[in-house]
C-alpha cells in the first residue's frame, strides 16, 4: 500500500506502479534523503512540533536504515514508489508511530529538491577533485618535456612551431574553466528548499534557518513555488559536465591522431590500449575513443533535461522525476573520463624526435621570414608575397626553406642578409614568440607558475 493510498479505492496497477516509480534511480540518493530527514526531525523537535523521544527514535531508526543500505542488507521493495517512500515506510515498520510523524510539515516536493541539491553539492565537489587530478597530470606532462618542439596547426595544416608543453597547457586552461563551471553548479545547488512543503509553505512553525545550517546550505530558499520546481542546479551541473566532456573529446581526438603511424608523436601505454581479435599487430587507442564517444550521452543528458523543463507550469509536476537519471549519469561519466584521461596521459610516451621532424616540414618558418623583411621596412603585405614566392620555389624544387641558398633569398629581396638563417631555426622561432601567452619557453614557464597557483587555490575550494 502506498503511503498516499487513503483516498484511493482500487489497488495499484502493476504496470503504472512500475512506470511511475523512480526508486531504481533515486535510491542512489538514500544518504541525502536520510540526512535531510534527520535534520527535519531534529528541527521539528526543537520547535516543539514532535517530542524529543520521537526525534531520538527517528534518528536511530534512520541511521540503522542507512547502515543496512550500506551493508547491502537492506531489501528495497519494488512496490515503494521512490526512495522517500521506501525509507519512510521502513522507518515506520521499525519504530511505529514516531516514524509516521516524520513527514509533518514536509512534502516529497521539498524533500526531493533538498536531496537533489545535497547530491549535486557532493558530486560537484568530487568532480572538482577529479578535475584537479587531470590538470595535474597534464601539467606534469608539460614539465617532463619542457623544450620539445612540435608543429602548431591551423586548419590541421602546419602553421608555426610551438612547444609541446604549450600545447598541453592549452588543455589545462580549458579544464581550469571547467572547474569554475563545476564550482558554479555547486553554488547554485547551495540553497535549502526544505520547509517549502508541497508548494506554498506550511502552517507549522518550522525553523528554516536551523535546517539550512544543519544541512550545510548557505541560504534558505525565498519562494516556495520556485523552490519545489527549480532544477537549474541540475542544468548547471549538466552544462559543466557537457563542456568538460567536450574539452576531453578535443584532447582525445589529438591523442588518437598523434598515435597513428602517420603522426607517431606518442605511444599509449599497454594499459590504455587494446588489441584486435583478428589483426595481431594492432594496438588501438580504445580508451581515448571511448572518452570521445561518451560525450554524446552526457550532452544528450543536458538536452534531455532542458526539454523536460521546457514549458513546465509551476509548481511541482511529475515530469521533474525525470531529472535525476541523466544528471547522475553525466556526473558518473565525467568522473570516469577524468580518471581515465589522467591515467592515459601519465603513462603515455612522447616522441620528441618525431615531433621535431614534423615541425621541419610545411614551411613553418614562413611567417618569421616575412616578419624579418617587415622589420627591415618592407610593408608586411609585400613581405608576405615575397615569402610566398620562396615557398613556391621550394614546392617546385621539393625542398625545405632551410635548403634554399642565400642567393635564392637575395633574388627575392636585397633586404635579406646572412642573419636570415636565424629565422629558419625552429628553436629561435619558438623563443621569439615572447609576448604574454606566447609559446617561448620563458612565457611557458610563466604559464606553469600561474596554473600551479591556480590549482593550489582551486584545491582550497573543494
- Smallest gap from Cβ 150 to ligand ARG, in A, equals 50
**Measured CA distances, 28 to 145, 203, 255, 304 (Å):** 43, 31, 35, 20
33 or 368: whose CB is closer to ligand ARG?
33
Choose between 155 and 318: whose C-beta lies nearer to ligand ARG: 318
Specify the pairing of strand 266-267 against strand 157-163: unpaired
Tell me if 224 contacts ligand ARG by CB under 6 A. Answer: no
DSSP letter string, 228-286: HH--HHHHHHHHHHHHHHHHHHHHHHHHHHHTSTTT--EE--GGG-B--SS-TT--B-H
Q: Which stretch binds ligand ARG (CB under 6 A): 92-100, 234-242, 312-320, 388-396?
A: 312-320
Which of 128, 266, 320, 430 binds ligand ARG (CB under 6 A)? It is: 320
Q: Which of 51, 271, 276, 453 is catalytic?
A: 276
Nearer to ligand ARG, 320 or 344 (CB): 320
How many residues does this entry show for the chain?
462
> Of the candidates 457, 443, 455, which has an alpha carbon nearest to the alpha carbon of residue 176?
455
Question: In this chain, which stretch among 36-44, 108-116, 178-186, 448-456 interacts with ligand ARG, using CB under 6 A?
Answer: 108-116
Q: Tell the smallest beta-carbon distance from residue 318 to ligand ARG (Å).
A: 6
Q: Which of 26, 90, 110, 190 binds ligand ARG (CB under 6 A)?
A: 26
Does 109 help bind ligand ARG (rule: CB under 6 A)?
yes
Q: Which stretch binds ligand ARG (CB under 6 A): 106-114, 351-359, 416-424, 437-445?
A: 106-114
Q: Would you call 276 a catalytic residue per the annotation?
A: yes
Identify the bridge partners of residue 220 per DSSP, sorted by sequence position.
Answer: 192
- Choose which of 164, 316, 363, 372 interacts with ligand ARG (CB under 6 A): 316
Over the window 81 to 100, marking each residue x when it contacts ligand ARG by CB under 6 A and - when it does not, the resulting string is -x------------------
- Angstrom distance (rounded) from CA 356 to CA 151: 8
Of 104-112, 350-358, 362-370, 380-388, the window that binds ligand ARG (rule: CB under 6 A) is 104-112
Using alpha carbons, list the distances in angstroms from residue 117 to 108, 136, 347, 352.
Answer: 14, 29, 37, 47
CB-CB neighbours of 276 under 10 Å: 10
- Counting residues that bind ligand ARG (by CB under 6 A) gives 10
Cα distance between residue 290 and residue 274, in whole Å = 12
Are 286 and 268 in contact, with CB atoms under 8 Å apart?
A: no
* Residue 321 engages ligand ARG in binding (rule: CB under 6 A): yes
* Residues with Cβ within 8 Å of residue 457, at least 6 apart in sequence: none
Per the annotation, the verdict on 442 as an active-site residue is no
C-alpha cell at 58: 527517528
- Please choose, out of 38-46, 92-100, 290-298, 314-322, the segment that lies near ligand ARG by the rule CB under 6 A: 314-322
Binds ligand ARG by CB under 6 A, chosen from 45, 112, 134, 299? 112
| Dihedral sign from CA coordinates of 62, 64, 67, 68 | negative
| Residue written as grid cell 621570414 | 369
Task: Decide: is 243 part of the binding site for ligand ARG (CB under 6 A).
Answer: no
The nearer residue to ligand ARG, 113 or 444, going by C-beta atoms, is 113
Q: Is 234 in the site for ligand ARG (CB under 6 A)?
A: no
- In the bound state with ligand ARG, the residue whose beta carbon lies nearer, of 109 and 224, is 109
Q: DSSP string covering 125-190, please?
A: HHHHHHHHHHHHHHHHHHHHSTT-EEEEEETTEEEEEEEHHHHHHHHHHHHHHHHHHHHHHHHHH-
CB of 112 to ligand ARG, least distance (A): 4
Applying CB under 6 A, which residues contact ligand ARG? 22, 26, 82, 108-109, 112, 316, 318, 320-321
Active site residues: 155, 276
Amino acid at each position: 500500500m502506498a503511503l498516499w493510498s487513503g483516498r484511493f479505492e482500487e489497488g495499484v496497477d502493476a504496470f503504472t506502479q512500475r512506470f511511475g516509480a523512480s526508486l531504481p534511480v533515486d535510491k542512489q540518493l538514500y544518504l541525502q534523503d536520510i540526512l535531510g530527514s534527520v535534520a527535519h526531525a531534529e528541527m521539528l523537535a526543537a520547535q516543539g512540533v514532535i517530542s524529543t523521544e520521537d526525534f531520538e527514535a527517528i534518528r536511530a531508526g534512520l541511521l540503522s536504515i542507512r547502515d543496512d543500505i550500506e551493508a547491502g542488507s537492506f531489501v528495497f521493495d519494488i512496490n515503494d514508489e521512490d526512495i522517500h517512500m521506501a525509507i519512510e515506510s521502513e522507518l515506520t515498520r521499525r519504530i511505529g508511530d514516531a516514524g509516521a510523524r516524520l513527514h509533518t510539515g514536509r512534502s516529497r516536493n521539498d524533500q526531493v529538491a533538498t536531496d537533489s541539491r545535497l547530491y549535486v553539492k557532493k558530486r560537484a565537489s568530487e568532480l572538482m577533485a577529479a578535475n584537479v587530478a587531470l590538470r595535474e597530470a597534464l601539467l606534469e606532462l608539460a614539465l617532463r618535456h619542457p623544450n620539445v618542439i612540435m608543429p602548431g596547426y591551423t586548419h590541421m595544416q602546419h602553421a608555426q612551431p610551438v612547444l609541446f608543453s604549450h600545447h598541453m597547457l592549452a588543455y589545462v586552461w580549458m579544464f581550469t574553466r571547467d572547474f569554475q563551471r563545476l564550482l558554479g553548479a555547486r553554488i547554485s545547488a547551495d540553497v535549502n528548499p526544505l520547509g517549502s512543503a508541497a508548494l506554498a509553505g506550511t502552517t507549522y512553525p518550522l525553523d528554516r534557518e536551523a535546517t539550512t545550517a544543519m544541512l550545510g546550505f548557505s541560504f534558505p530558499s525565498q519562494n516556495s513555488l520556485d523552490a519545489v520546481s527549480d532544477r537549474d542546479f541540475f542544468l548547471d551541473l549538466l552544462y559543466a559536465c557537457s563542456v568538460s566532456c567536450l574539452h576531453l573529446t578535443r584532447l582525445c581526438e589529438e591523442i588518437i591522431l598523434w598515435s597513428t603511424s602517420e603522426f607517431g608523436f606518442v605511444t599509449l601505454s599497454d594499459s590504455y590500449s587494446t588489441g584486435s581479435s583478428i589483426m595481431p599487430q594492432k594496438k588501438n587507442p580504445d580508451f581515448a575513443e571511448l572518452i570521445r564517444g561518451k560525450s554524446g550521452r552526457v550532452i544528450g543528458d543536458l538536452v534531455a533535461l532542458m526539454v523536460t523543463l521546457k514549458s513546465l507550469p509551476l509548481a511541482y509536476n511529475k515530469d521533474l522525476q525525470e531529472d535525476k537519471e541523466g544528471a547522475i549519469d553525466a556526473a558518473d561519466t565525467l568522473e570516469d573520463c577524468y580518471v581515465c584521461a589522467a591515467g592515459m596521459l601519465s603513462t603515455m610516451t612522447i616522441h620528441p624526435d618525431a615531433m621535431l621532424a614534423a615541425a621541419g616540414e610545411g614551411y613553418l618558418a614562413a611567417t618569421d621570414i616575412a616578419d624579418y623583411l617587415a622589420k627591415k621596412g618592407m610593408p608586411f603585405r609585400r613581405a608576405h608575397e615575397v615569402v610566398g614566392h620562396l615557398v613556391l620555389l621550394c614546392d617546385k624544387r621539393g625542398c625545405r626553406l632551410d635548403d634554399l641558398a642565400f642567393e635564392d633569398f637575395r633574388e627575392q629581396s636585397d633586404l635579406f642578409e646572412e642573419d636570415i638563417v636565424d629565422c629558419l631555426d625552429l628553436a629561435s622561432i619558438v623563443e621569439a614568440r615572447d609576448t604574454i601567452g606566447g609559446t617561448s619557453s620563458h612565457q611557458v614557464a610563466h604559464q606553469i607558475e600561474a596554473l600551479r597557483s591556480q590549482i593550489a587555490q582551486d584545491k582550497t575550494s573543494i
